[in-house]
Structure 1
Amino acid sequence: MSHPIVLHHFNESPFSEKIRLIFGLKRISWCSVLISRTMPRPELMPMTGGYRRTPVMQIGADIYCDTQRIIRELERRFPTPSLFPGGAEGIGWASAMWTDRSFFQNTVNLVFGSLGARVPQSFIDDREKLRGAKFDVEAMRAGIPQMRDQYRAHLDWIESQLADLGDWLCGERAGLLDINAYMNIWYVRSNLEIADELLEDFSRVREWEQRMRAIGHGTRVEISSTKALELARDSMPQTAEMSDPLDPNGRKVGDLVDITPDDYGKIPVRGRIVASTAQTIAIARHDAAVADVVVHFPRAGFLIKSA
């Protein structure tokens, strides 16, 4: 049975924009479930086991967490056009450690420092719970000069790469490196009127931004979170058992583990290993609201501990 691709996201989410662009690049038809920017998300949590970062992709009763894992599954299911048109697949995957961490943190500080008092207190409270630390908008405001300096440095890297290769960062067509880097340009553009000012000295980045926006989001159909929950409950997970014989900690199918992000949103998800590789791990869970699901995570950026 073929299940629709369902993305649980909100329109303002920069990480969700990555996935939406891949839908556009690969011309994928997908179902959109709009979730709130803040907790609670009562019809999503039973599927993820408590994982609360955005986005989450659902295919029947298989639930994919983190953009790394979502992207890897989309590339497996829809290999054409490839996300690695110029080769260099390893660098393409690894680029997320730049774009999603140092570059993104710089971008977040710039955006929220510039927004200042316009940031709702409810959003601040939610992000403090998510990060386990103070979401200090005033400190971000004070740091704007430094954040502009650092944002400019990131832009200069992109400009230099475009000068070397032409229209795209990773070869003859748009690929994962472009999508990863574009997320932060998109986020500033979506929130700040000074986006043009920040890009003024980077003509190649400005032209590249227009090309990225033109990719679009594929074919999008809205469905309700209730419908998505029903799809999971009425499906069976399709993940085959697979152990990693080279797992450095000797983990195997059936082991009970907790999986937790290593940076923020440190909410452990518990389940029994169904499949694992050097890059991925999937665990089986049961929840009364959704029955049996398999939740998929990447290895990089996540901690796996015996439960």
Structure 2
Amino acid sequence: MTDMILHNFAISPFSEKIRLIFGFKQLNWKSVMVPIIMPKPDVTALTGGYRRTPLLQIGADIYCDTSLIAEVLEKRSPAPTLYPAAINGIARNLAQWADSTLFWTAIVYAFQPAAIPSLFGNISAEEMQAFSADRAAMRGNMPRTSLGEAKGQLSEYLRRLENMLSGDAPFLLGAQASIADFSVYQALWLIRIAPAINTIFDAYPKLLKWMDLVAAFGHHQSEVLSSADALDVARSAQSFDIDGRNFVDNHGIPLGEQVAIMPTDYALDPVVGELVIASENELAVRRQDARAGTVVVHFPRVGFQMKRAK
């Protein structure tokens, strides 16, 4: 089977979500470490502009956003499942809340001055300024939350999550782990690994026990791969994942048209290419790049928008 290549960086919460899913499913993978800030020339060669981390590459197919990446891993290895039938709907909805509302609340709390040494090591003032400028540009006009507001909201969310664990079941939605557990965990992960601020969890012993349980899945077996080698993989491969889906037309745009796809919330960098998938839950474009060759870039429907390319 074609190798699964995760383009990630060490302190990316969404990368940690997928790394733990590899562990949960006991899947081998290859790791390409990407720059934490722009420019990211090798990422751009693969995606055509999409800059969020992580990306999953399988040959010449590039999957964006962890909600879609999780679906791809589920298809590759259905057991153990991320989507137990009895809780499928609620697990997906809880995951979406965690990947958005909970994440943006937690990230403000995590990036307070006391936590920076734990998260970034011996980062210089200039490097921290560059990181802050990069993330400000990435967020654009998204509303800002103050640290005080974030702490108050986060404390309320932690109380609710503790309440979800008040019974004997080990995971948020019962006896089985689900996509909800990995999404909630990733949102809280940076806080947990920063000793100066992780005391906020002390009042929630069941939540701490649950976090240890999720962390214990580990990352399974990975092998380091260079970004240059990942580009070689893409250039020498052909997309295998564009057939077998229903065409769902919500835009009046037929397959084969040139379109631009980008997120709906932040990092609004459009990816332009030939529309090759428009299904119930996925969009994808085929594009050409001098370094990566012909690739197909895949996106989930939820959280993304598509328009005809100008």
Q: What TM-score, normalized to structure 2?
A: 0.91
For 1:253, what is the secondary structure of its paired residue? coil
**Which residue number corresponds to residue 155 of structure 2?**
152
CA distance in 2, matches of 1:302, 1:30: 27
CA contact (8 A) 1:47 1:293 kept: yes
Output aligned runs, 1:178-197, within 5 Å.
Answer: 178-195=181-198, 197=199
Over 3 Å counting, the alpha-carbon distance change for 1:134 and 1:74 in structure 2 is closer
Look up the equivalent residue of 2:65 and give its one-letter code.
D
CA distance in 1, matches of 2:253, 2:195: 46
> Given the alignment of the two structures, is residue 131 of structure 1 paired with residue 143 of structure 2, yes or no?
no
Look up the equivalent residue of 1:28 and give its one-letter code.
L
CA contact (8 A) 2:95 2:179 kept: no
CA distance in 2, matches of 1:224, 1:282: 25
Output aligned runs, 1:13-52, within 5 Å.
Answer: 13-52=12-51
**Which residue number corresponds to residue 207 of structure 2?**
205
Choose which of 159, 174, 179 in structure 2 pairs with 1:176: 179
Q: How many pairs are equivalent? A: 300
Look up the equivalent residue of 1:127 and give its one-letter code.
R
Output aligned runs, 1:261-300, within 5 Å.
Answer: 261-300=263-302
For 1:148, what is the secondary structure of its paired residue? helix
Output aligned runs, 1:81-160, within 5 Å.
Answer: 81-85=80-84, 87-115=86-114, 120-133=128-141, 143-160=146-163
Kindly, what percent of the aligned residue pairs are identical? 37
**Which residue number corresponds to residue 73 of structure 1?**
72
Output aligned runs, 1:222-241, within 5 Å.
Answer: 222-241=224-243
Q: Which runs of 5+ in 2 are unaligned?
A: 118-124
For 2:45, what is the secondary structure of its paired residue? helix
User: Which segment drifts farther, 34-43 or 82-91?
Assistant: 82-91
Look up the equivalent residue of 2:161 and give its one-letter code.
I
Look up the equivalent residue of 1:81 and give its one-letter code.
P
CA distance in 1, matches of 2:90, 2:253: 27
For 2:262, what is the secondary structure of its paired residue? strand
**Which residue number corresponds to residue 304 of structure 1?**
306
CA distance in 2, matches of 1:240, 1:6: 19
Look up the equivalent residue of 1:193 and give its one-letter code.
A
Q: CA deviation at 1:161?
A: 1.2
Q: CA deviation at 1:192?
A: 4.7
CA contact (8 A) 2:115 2:195 kept: no
Choose which of 234, 239, 255 in structure 1 pairs with 2:257: 255
For residues 228-250 of structure 1, give each alpha carbon's deviation from its aligned partner in whole angstroms, at most 9, with x where no partner exists: 01000111111234564442223
CA contact (8 A) 2:110 2:197 kept: no
CA contact (8 A) 2:23 2:219 kept: yes
For 1:43, what is the secondary structure of its paired residue? helix
CA distance in 2, matches of 1:259, 1:57: 17
Look up the equivalent residue of 1:42 and give its one-letter code.
P
Q: CA deviation at 1:117?
A: 8.2
For 2:254, what is the secondary structure of its paired residue? coil
Q: CA deviation at 1:61?
A: 0.3
Q: Which runs of 5+ in 1 are unaligned?
A: none
Over 3 Å counting, the alpha-carbon distance change for 1:270 and 1:102 in structure 2 is same
The root-mean-square deviation of aligned C-alpha atoms, in Å, is 2.0
For 1:73, what is the secondary structure of its paired residue? helix
